[in-house]
Chains A and B, each alone.
Chain A
Amino acid sequence: MMNHLIWLHDEGINLALREHPKVGRESEVFFVWDNDYFTKMRYGLRRLVFIYEALVSLRVPVYEGSNSEVCRKMMREYDLKHIFSVQPTNPVLLQSIQDLSAADQVQWLTLTPFVDLDDGADHKRFFRYWKKARRAALQPTLESRS
């Protein structure tokens, strides 16, 4: 019995998300082959083949369509109120599902950060960041947190 759906996008093709404490074991992953998004990003054949081969090697189901539409259809199909995903950094990718995130239909999975720093702090130069991050960065990663 599948309880949760995780949308994998091109910044987070990672099956370990199924082990995230927020989703539990009974979860399924999927990827959307969104040509509008790829076109906006000007992804060439080399990158698209790389992404597709990664998805095939991990046996991730791939659906053709727009990110937003396919996520909606998946939610309807499995009678779910929301999907899970990792919040992308790329504004174009975020924009492609803006209607879903605005309607709270996407729940972001928080990953253990590389270093635990106050995200409000504006470290405009790397070495300011590194001064604060160095000690934590040189430690092994802690267990995942929810």
Chain B
Amino acid sequence: VSATAWLRASLVVFVAAMLQVVIVSSLVVAGGAPDLLLVVVVVLGLARGSIPGAILGFAGGLVVDLVTLGTLGVTSLVLTLAGFWAGRYAETTGRDRRFAAVIAVGTITVLAAAFGYVLHYLLDEEVVARHALVTALAPAFVLNLVLALPVNALVRRLVGEGERDELAPEVEVLAS
């Protein structure tokens, strides 16, 4: 991955993190808000691969935790795994799938909410499961899916497609 691509991707993540903290998180619809940063990290993982996805997720999470003065590392851990998983999905079964972004964003939204709930529970923070996993998650899931395709198109246009040098090996069918 070139330095220019890294710089562009980092800027995209930084802007997404700031937008998430400043405005997107306050756009509450039916009890939940979209997670722009999660969508951007997933899309970057799909576009650039698992390693850039994990690194950019870590950086984005760190920015959020710094700005909100939250417990450092919590958002980083969730987004690191989100970016990594999205990258692996693109490198293996998700390649060439038309709606890979929608599938990945939907799946990771649910997994990230569940993992985040467990993480906060382990940190002894009182979290209501029904609110975290149902009331807030359902609208956030839908809103993230709505964001998936436009954000995917925009981010790929800004950052470009990475060379997938870590694809799983393919098989070729030979004539019998």
Question: Do A and B truly interact?
Answer: no
